[in-house]
Amino acid sequence: MGFMDEIKKAGREIKRACKDITAAPFVREMCDNCANMYRLGWDERNGGNISYMLDEKEVAEYLDLNKVIRTIPLMGVNAAAFDVTPLVGKIFIVTGTGKYFKNVKDDPENNLGIVRVAQDKKGVELLWGFADGGRTTSEFPSHMMCHMARLAQDPENRVVMHCHPTHTLAMNYVHELDEKKLTHTLWEMCTECIVVFPDGVGILPWMLCGTDEIGVATADKMRDFRIVVWAMHGVYGAGKTMDETFGLIETVEKAAQIYMLTCNRPRINTIKDEDMVKLAELFGVKYRKDFLN
Ligand code: 13P
Ligand code: ZN
């Protein structure tokens, strides 16, 4: 390396050392979202997890990407069924397993981690966070599978979010778990629903979480849906930005709340299918026509 290169490298390092990663926009977004999700009651105790694919250049403004703190193996994964090739080298900020969303904002360095998918595809390299020895969420294999499925549909997808929203979960116990029927009921609950989730809601039956099987099944649903209900457990949502993903889950949850507030009373009024068609056409969204009656 020449003298000028050495100077430039030292300059980059000094610049990086002056930037506080806890003030980085992507760390703040994670903190704010976890706090909001906790406040809304979607993430009791350690419930829920988020993974957010980051831009390498943006991360390099804060961290030396050559400094790997440790490698974290991918847990609960059957390598044969799980090919992570499209994500090799990608960097994510992710919540830790067993960590409480309630605590993320005040202590991001212990509750969050920035990881890069390792070249050998067997684990992730920790670049920052999980300071108390923590690991990525137990659902990280499912998240990675969902990222791959969504990226194949939309190259701009960045976020996968899992949580336990109260009314959506309540609805699982009293409404038929049929994709068409559940989506239709939700679309009827708020005028904007068909515009926010025109692709509808996918459903998986109750399955054991933290396994490849549920990851493969979720990713399979994510080819058609940006939101998938895990029966009697919670939801998985995906989107381009944190706001979009949060807003998607928030809209489904709001509709489920209205359903739960009204389901044991006589229904006098409703949004008709013909009204939903008008909305979808006005907003130019491609909706699941087969989910209308
Ligand atoms: P983690 O604590 O491993 O993220 O798991 C929480 C959860 O919601 C499992 O489904
Ligand atoms: Zn969960």
Residue located nearest, by CA, to atom 1 of ligand 1: 97
* Dist. CA 235 → ligand 2 center (Å): 8
The model's pTM: 0.94
Distance (Å, whole) CA 27 – CA 21: 7
Q: Which of 30, 49, 146, 160 to mutate to test the pocket of ligand 1 (most atoms within 8 A of CB)?
A: 49
Strand 227-230 to 202-204 pairing = parallel
Q: Is the pLDDT of residue 25 over 90?
A: yes
Per-residue model confidence (pLDDT) at position 273: 98
Ligand lying nearest the CA atom of residue 209: 1
Q: Is the pLDDT of residue 80 over 80?
A: no
Per-residue model confidence (pLDDT) at position 78: 67
What angle, 0 to 180 degrees and rounded to 10, lies between the N-to-C axes of helices 242-262 and 179-189? 90
| DSSP symbol at 74 | P
For residue 235, which of 99, 19, 49, 104 has the smallest C-alpha distance?
49
Average pLDDT over every residue of 217-233:
97
Q: Give the number of the atom of ligand 1 that is nearest the alpha carbon of residue 46.
A: 2
Average pLDDT over every residue of 25-54:
98
Return the exposure string of 150-183: e unless at least 16 CB atoms fall within 10 Å of the residue's CB, then b.
bbeeeeebbbbbbbbbbbbbebbeebebebbebb
Q: Is the pLDDT of residue 189 over 80?
A: yes
Per-residue model confidence (pLDDT) at position 75: 74
* Dist. CA 137 → ligand 1 center (Å): 6
Within 8 A by CB and 6+ apart from 118, the residues are 71, 88, 124, 125
Q: Encode pLDDT of 134-179 as tens digits.
A: 999 999 999 999 999 999 999 999 999 999 999 999 999 999 999 9
Q: Is the pLDDT of residue 46 over 90?
A: yes
Is 222 or 122 the better-scoring residue by pLDDT?
Answer: 222
Give the active site residue among 13, 29, 56, 139. Answer: 139
Q: Which of 42, 139, 146 to mutate to test the pocket of ligand 1 (most atoms within 8 A of CB)?
A: 139
Q: Is 125 a catalytic residue?
A: no
Q: Encode pLDDT of 272-285 as tens digits.
A: 999 999 999 999 99
Per-residue model confidence (pLDDT) at position 226: 98
Ligand 1, pocket residues at CB < 6 Å: 46-49, 95, 97-98, 137-139, 162, 209
Per-residue model confidence (pLDDT) at position 79: 62
Distance (Å, whole) CA 110 – CA 199: 37
Ligand lying nearest the CA atom of residue 235: 2
Q: Encode pLDDT of 83-130 as tens digits.
A: 899 999 999 999 999 999 999 999 999 999 999 999 999 899 999 999
Distance (Å, whole) CA 209 – CA 207: 6
Structure token pair of residue 96: 């830790």
Average pLDDT over every residue of 204-229:
95
Q: Is the pLDDT of residue 190 over 80?
A: yes
Check if the beta carbon of residue 54 is closer than 8 Å to that of residue 108: no
**Domains of the chain with bracketed CATH:** 17-138 (3.40.225.10), 139-293 (3.40.225.10)
* Dist. CA 152 → ligand 1 center (Å): 25
Q: Is the pLDDT of residue 20 over 70?
A: yes
Q: Phi, psi (5° rounding) for residue 92?
A: -130, 145
Q: How would residue 81 be classed by pLDDT, with cut points 50, 70 and 90?
A: low
Ligand lying nearest the CA atom of residue 97: 1
Q: Is the pLDDT of residue 229 over 90?
A: yes
